[in-house]
């Protein structure tokens, strides 16, 4: 019976659709995973300002997250390096983000280590809820859980970025070579103004005597 061509033909008719279905299912699953958002919320040191910690909300997935909301108000604007300043919980992040595209991130100034530690002494779980579309354009709901923690930054080195220092220097907010040069130029300008005034006075006197 095994050598009967009809047997192989029947087996082909049975197995072929199954193999095709599995191939299509695997391909769809791969595309589905690539189209699903993956929203991660975390704290990290600011790229620009030393001692400042940023809250970062990033979509690491392949699809857009729509109507993004969070399960709790996320602590931000919590200042104080060693000891916390007065914290106003009404300033915590309570927003609904209409759209967060793949690979995009939002940054908020969360505060400083002491201020944030007073609000997150233990790990804080945050659930990000959103809507997205499948490859077949069907609307679905998704959730991602992040654990907020800042204790790993306790001994982390921090410093201002060169761009921030340059902006400070140009505005005269720190004592750098730019500030010293600016003061020297102001002094030279005043001296030139005095010399010009003296020369103008001498010229006027000479004209009067003539």
In a domain, residue 17? The reply is yes
**Cβ atoms within 10 Å of 202's Cβ, excluding its own:** 10
User: Would you state the pLDDT for residue 56?
Assistant: 97
Question: Do 28 and 42 belong to one domain?
Answer: no
Domain that holds residue 2: 1-35
In a domain, residue 100? The reply is yes
Question: Do 123 and 27 belong to one domain?
Answer: no
Question: Do 143 and 169 belong to one domain?
Answer: no
Question: Do 87 and 134 belong to one domain?
Answer: yes
User: Would you state the pLDDT for residue 3?
Assistant: 61
Please say whether the beta carbons of 33 and 144 come within 8 A. Answer: no
In a domain, residue 210? The reply is no
Question: Do 94 and 142 belong to one domain?
Answer: yes
User: Would you state the pLDDT for residue 130?
Assistant: 97
Question: Do 24 and 97 belong to one domain?
Answer: no
DSSP labels, 56-69: EEEE-SSS-EEEEE
- The series of mean pLDDT values per 10 residues for the chain, 210 residues long, is 61 68 61 79 89 95 94 95 90 95 95 93 92 86 95 69 50 58 76 77 60
Question: Do 7 and 97 belong to one domain?
Answer: no
User: Would you state the pLDDT for residue 28?
Assistant: 54
Question: Do 29 and 114 belong to one domain?
Answer: no
User: Would you state the pLDDT for residue 106?
Assistant: 97
Q: Which of 38, 43, 11, 28 is nearest to 134 (CA)?
A: 28
User: Would you state the pLDDT for residue 144?
Assistant: 97
């Amino acid at each position: 019976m095994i050598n009967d061509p009809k047997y192989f033909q029947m087996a082909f008719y049975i197995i072929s659709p199954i193999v095709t279905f599995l191939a299509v299912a695997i391909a769809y699953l791969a595309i589905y995973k690539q189209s699903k958002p993956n929203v991660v919320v975390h704290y990290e040191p600011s790229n620009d300002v030393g001692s400042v910690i940023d809250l970062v909300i990033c979509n690491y997935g392949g699809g857009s997250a729509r109507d993004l909301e969070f399960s709790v108000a996320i602590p931000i604007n919590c200042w104080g390096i060693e000891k916390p300043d007065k914290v106003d919980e009404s300033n915590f992040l309570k927003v609904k983000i209409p759209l967060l595209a793949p690979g995009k991130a939002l940054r908020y100034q969360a505060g400083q280590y002491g201020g944030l530690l007073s609000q997150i002494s233990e790990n804080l779980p945050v659930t990000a809820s959103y809507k997205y579309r499948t490859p077949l354009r069907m609307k679905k709901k998704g959730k991602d859980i992040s654990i907020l923690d800042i204790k790993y930054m306790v001994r982390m080195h921090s410093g201002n970025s060169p761009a921030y220092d340059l902006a400070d220097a140009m505005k005269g907010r720190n004592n750098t070579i730019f500030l010293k040069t600016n003061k020297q130029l102001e002094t030279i300008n005043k001296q030139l103004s005095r010399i010009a005034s003296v020369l103008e006075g001498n010229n006027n006197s000479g004209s009067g005597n003539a």
